[in-house]
């Protein structure tokens, strides 16, 4: 078999175009006999490109038409010794590899419908890159349809999941908002109407304290929702600066201690005596620690123990851990509790009040401060939440 004389393809890049089959092209002076031998040796090849010495396409040989011509009466004697240019299509459809499939189909129909059968040439920067056929177009069309179908399926599932999560969130929030509002309205009515008599000042003071507590809880819920909304909209105002970790956490500790005493919880704080530098927004940092310790206090049973630890770790980072011996969190729920509008199973969540937004907000606050958050937990073995944040401002 006579081999086709290859043409230098230095100008041809090695990456594939969207529909390009990297068939080695032949030169313009290649004989029809050599092309015939090549088609026989390559039964799956439908087209053969012809290029000049600068790798620019000048024609295309369609397998079926070429072989039919040679098989006709006097075909071999007339063409076998002639150059391939005698039987090539000198005006094939030529498209750039970057042309999208939708435009490619229009170009074939508008400029050269026979290209669906005879094939077309794919170029990159006007140099030969490969060849394509109607079969390639069909395969790509089917692949595009399949991907669009997969994308629609994923989008539909995501939308359905989001709708279900938001429905659960709204159902929970309606309960969480109504509870303090009912308390505020109920106790304020008792004071307004002096139900206990005009002189029951001590009782009314207690009612006012209940109103204050309910209002504070309501404000906390609303703030969580608004903060999540601001973060998702990219409109939260961060003032990251150099901080001393102990100075930010220390003032919070008294508040934690007062809340823990109500449940007879043991609180421990482990921190080195030397200052720990941290680069973060101070308000966000305090909210992160408050949310994590507050959750531990909320879910740890009476008489339990909670430990807050702080340390410097490698890569110029600090690590904060909040560990409790509460009920623990099942593995299947651990990823969900960090997502907005998601809550852990009711058997875990509903024995304590809360919107379920605290950990989602904490995760986002950690993220926008350049840190990471994680969880280690198992049912009956407590939970350990950890965050890692930068110790100093990143260079640049």
Which candidate, 31, 52, 218, 209, places its Cα nearest to that of 121? 52
Q: Looking at the structure, do residues 245 and 386 belong to the same domain, yes or no?
A: yes
Residues 182 and 187: their CA atoms lie apart, in Å, by 8
Q: Looking at the structure, do residues 122 and 215 belong to the same domain, yes or no?
A: no
**Contacts for 286-289: CB closer than 8 Å, 24+ residues apart:** 286/248, 286/249, 286/252, 287/361, 287/362, 287/365, 288/320, 288/362, 288/365, 288/366, 288/387, 289/248, 289/249, 289/252, 289/320, 289/322
289-334: pLDDT as tens digits: 998 998 899 889 888 999 999 999 887 899 999 999 988 888 888 8
10 is a domain residue: no
Maximal CA-CA distance, the chain: 125
CATH label of the domain that carries residue 50? 3.10.580.10
Residues 346 and 339: their CA atoms lie apart, in Å, by 16
User: 3-class SS at 116?
Assistant: helix
Average pLDDT value over all residues in the chain? 83
Residues 208 and 217: their CA atoms lie apart, in Å, by 14
Q: Looking at the structure, do residues 245 and 217 belong to the same domain, yes or no?
A: no
202 is a domain residue: yes
335 is a domain residue: yes
**How many other CB atoms sit within 10 Å of the CB of residue 385?**
23
Strand partners, 374: 386
28-51: pLDDT as tens digits: 999 999 999 999 999 988 899 999
Residue 1 has pLDDT above 60, yes or no: no
Q: Mean pLDDT lowest for which of 10-14, 72-76, 77-81, 288-292?
A: 10-14
Name the domain count of the chain.
3
Q: Looking at the structure, do residues 196 and 85 belong to the same domain, yes or no?
A: no
Q: Looking at the structure, do residues 319 and 370 belong to the same domain, yes or no?
A: yes
94 is a domain residue: yes
**CB distance 387 to 320 below 8 Å:** yes
Show which of 173, 198, 232 is a domain's final residue.
232
Q: Looking at the structure, do residues 263 and 310 belong to the same domain, yes or no?
A: yes
226-279: pLDDT as tens digits: 777 777 777 777 889 999 999 998 888 878 888 888 889 999 999 898 999 999
- The domain of 210 spans 158-232
Measured at the alpha carbon of residue 57, what is the angle toward residues 56 and 60, in degrees to the nearest 5?
165
Show which of 132, 167, 186 is a domain's final residue.
132
Residue 13 has pLDDT above 50, yes or no: no
362 is a domain residue: yes
**Residue 309 φ then ψ, to 5°:** -125, 150
CATH label of the domain that carries residue 206? 1.10.287.130
Q: Looking at the structure, do residues 310 and 368 belong to the same domain, yes or no?
A: yes
Q: Looking at the structure, do residues 246 and 384 belong to the same domain, yes or no?
A: yes
Residues 265 and 300: their CA atoms lie apart, in Å, by 8
Residue 393 has pLDDT above 80, yes or no: no
Q: What pLDDT, on the 0 to 100 scale, is given for residue 67?
A: 93
CATH label of the domain that carries residue 292? 3.30.565.10
Q: Looking at the structure, do residues 266 and 374 belong to the same domain, yes or no?
A: yes
Q: Looking at the structure, do residues 258 and 213 belong to the same domain, yes or no?
A: no
Q: Looking at the structure, do residues 246 and 329 belong to the same domain, yes or no?
A: yes
330-359: pLDDT as tens digits: 888 887 788 765 554 444 444 445 556 788
Q: Looking at the structure, do residues 207 and 250 belong to the same domain, yes or no?
A: no
Residue 163 host element (H or E): helix 134-192
**CB distance 326 to 383 below 8 Å:** yes
4 is a domain residue: no
Show which of 232, 255, 290 is a domain's final residue.
232
17 is a domain residue: no
116 is a domain residue: yes
């Amino acid at each position: 078999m006579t081999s086709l004389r290859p043409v230098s393809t230095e100008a041809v890049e090695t990456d594939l175009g969207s529909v390009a089959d990297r068939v080695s092209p032949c030169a313009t002076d290649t004989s029809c006999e050599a092309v015939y031998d090549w088609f026989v040796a390559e039964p799956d090849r439908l087209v053969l490109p012809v290029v000049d010495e600068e790798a620019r396409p000048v024609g295309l040989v369609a397998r079926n038409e070429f072989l039919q011509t040679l098989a006709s009466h006097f075909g071999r004697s007339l063409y076998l010794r002639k150059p391939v240019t005698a039987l090539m299509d000198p005006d094939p459809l030529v498209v750039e590899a970057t042309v999208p499939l939708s435009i490619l189909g229009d170009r074939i129909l508008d400029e050269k419908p026979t290209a669906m059968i005879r094939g077309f040439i794919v170029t990159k920067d006007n140099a030969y890159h490969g060849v394509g056929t109607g079969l390639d177009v069909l395969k790509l069309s089917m692949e595009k349809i399949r991907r669009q179908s997969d994308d629609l399926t994923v989008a539909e599932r995501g939308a359905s999941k989001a709708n279900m999560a938001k429905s659960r969130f709204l159902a929970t929030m309606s309960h969480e908002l109504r509870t303090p509002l009912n308390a505020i309205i109920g106790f304020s009515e008792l004071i307004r109407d002096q139900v206990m008599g005009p002189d029951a000042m001590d009782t009314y003071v207690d009612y006012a304290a209940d109103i204050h507590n309910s209002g504070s809880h309501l404000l906390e819920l609303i703030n969580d929702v608004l903060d999540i909304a601001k973060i998702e909209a990219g409109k939260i105002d961060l003032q990251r600066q150099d901080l001393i970790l102990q100075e930010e956490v220390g003032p919070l500790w008294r508040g934690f201690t007062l809340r823990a005493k109500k449940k007879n919880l043991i609180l421990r704080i482990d921190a080195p005596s030397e200052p720990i530098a941290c680069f973060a927004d101070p308000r966000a940092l305090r909210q992160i620690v408050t949310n994590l310790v507050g959750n531990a206090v909320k879910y740890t049973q009476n008489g339990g123990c909670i430990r807050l630890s702080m340390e410097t770790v490698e890569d110029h980072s600090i690590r904060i851990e909040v560990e409790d011996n509460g009920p623990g969190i099942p593995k299947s729920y651990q990823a969900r509790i960090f997502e907005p509008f998601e809550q852990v199973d009711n058997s875990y969540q509903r024995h304590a009040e809360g919107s379920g937004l605290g950990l989602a907000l904490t995760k986002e606050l950690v993220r926008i401060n350049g840190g990471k958050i994680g969880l280690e937990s198992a049912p009956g073995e407590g939970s350990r939440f950890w965050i890692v944040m930068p110790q100093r401002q990143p260079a640049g």
